[in-house]
């Protein structure tokens, strides 16, 4: 039977409704994404919101985000990105949102905060206590296959400017993860592009942004010029009972 998860990332909602982000209305895009999820995946088990949910927005921006995504799945969980305000998220969080260790039938899902030690350019790291918590949560996972979610990419994506702002202490992260062969997948946002990579037995997936995409494999920042690849999107994961992880990307046409 498995579990069906929907990853929504990098929504960059502005502080006030109607505000723009890189020339588009992120809230309109998010509504289109929500409509698509509602139509295609009425059986979704959970939403995973993997950071940059607002663009330094306040409580109102987070409430608009949650209202837009209301009713898409019986459970939803979030973690912060470099553009988020952790304190505001904690104030606004309701239901299961702030939960970090979630057991979904056979699987264990771990939600990490990678916004420690910000470098001022978008980079972030896992605090030591977050690494300790990861280790403890992996140690108690037993035979469960594990999926780990965080905002920053823990591997390079072959874009010089983005690789400079990836997870700052990726080596520390892998030092922990590599000791636990039950980790099947690591998923992230941040890069505003679709990536599907492999590191040993661990599959690595990024979700596209629900707002705007960045061109892959570039030395410097560049918006995605290909109209198809520039469309907003989201990722779907099937966590199978046999321990296999399946994923695909859905894109939503919603104009400029
Ligand atoms: Fe972002």
Domain ranges of the chain: 3-251
Q: What is the pLDDT of residue 1?
A: 66
Protein residues with C-beta less than 5 angstroms from the ion ligand 1:
10, 52
Cα(166) to centroid(ligand 1), Å: 12
Angle between helices 59-68 and 26-40 (to 10 degrees): 30
Low-confidence ranges of the chain (pLDDT < 50): none
Distance between CA atoms of residues 203 and 237, nearest Å: 12
Cα(100) to centroid(ligand 1), Å: 21
What are the angstrom distances between the C-alpha of 67 and each of 25, 31, 60, 64, 75?
16, 10, 10, 5, 14
Q: What is the pLDDT of residue 218?
A: 97
Cα(210) to centroid(ligand 1), Å: 9
| pTM (2 d.p.) | 0.97
Q: Which CATH class is domain 3-251?
A: alpha beta
Cα(54) to centroid(ligand 1), Å: 9
Q: What is the pLDDT of residue 105?
A: 86
Cα(192) to centroid(ligand 1), Å: 6
Q: Which residues, in sequence order, are bridge partners of residue 248?
A: 236
Distance between CA atoms of residues 29 and 20, nearest Å: 11
Q: Tell me which long-range contacts 18-26 makes (C-beta under 8 A, separation of at least 24).
A: 21/55, 21/211, 21/212, 22/211, 22/212, 22/223, 23/212, 23/256, 24/211, 24/212, 24/256, 26/55, 26/210, 26/211
Taking only the tens place, the pLDDT of each residue in 194-205 is: 999 999 999 999
Pairing assessment for the beta strands 3-8 and 46-50 based on DSSP bridges: parallel
Do 149 and 48 meet the contact criterion of CB atoms below 8 Å apart?
yes
Cα(141) to centroid(ligand 1), Å: 30
Q: What is the pLDDT of residue 256?
A: 54
């Amino acid at each position: 039977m498995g579990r069906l998860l929907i990853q929504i990332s990098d929504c960059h909602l502005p502080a006030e409704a109607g505000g723009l982000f890189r020339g588009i209305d992120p809230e309109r895009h998010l509504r289109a994404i929500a409509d698509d999820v509602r139509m295609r995946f009425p059986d979704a088990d959970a939403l995973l919101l993997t950071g940059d949910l607002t663009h330094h927005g306040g409580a109102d921006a987070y409430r608009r985000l949650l209202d837009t995504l209301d009713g898409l799945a019986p459970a939803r969980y979030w973690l912060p990105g470099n553009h988020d305000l952790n304190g505001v998220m904690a104030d606004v969080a309701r239901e299961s949102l702030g939960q970090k260790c979630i057991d979904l039938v056979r699987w264990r899902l771990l939600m990490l905060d990678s916004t420690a030690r910000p470098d001022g350019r978008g980079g972030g790291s896992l605090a030591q206590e977050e690494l300790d918590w990861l280790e403890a949560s992996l140690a108690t996972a037993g035979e469960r296959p594990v999926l780990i979610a965080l905002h920053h990419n823990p591997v390079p994506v072959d874009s010089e400017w983005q690789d400079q702002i990836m997870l700052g202490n990726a080596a520390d992260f892998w030092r922990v993860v590599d000791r636990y062969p039950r980790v099947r997948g690591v998923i992230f946002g941040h890069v505003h592009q679709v990536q599907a990579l492999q590191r040993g037995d661990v599959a690595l997936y990024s979700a596209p942004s629900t707002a705007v995409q960045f061109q892959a494999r570039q030395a410097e920042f560049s918006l995605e010029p290909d109209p198809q690849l520039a469309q907003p999107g989201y990722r779907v994961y099937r966590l199978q009972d046999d321990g296999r992880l399946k994923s695909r990307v859905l894109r939503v046409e919603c104009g400029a």
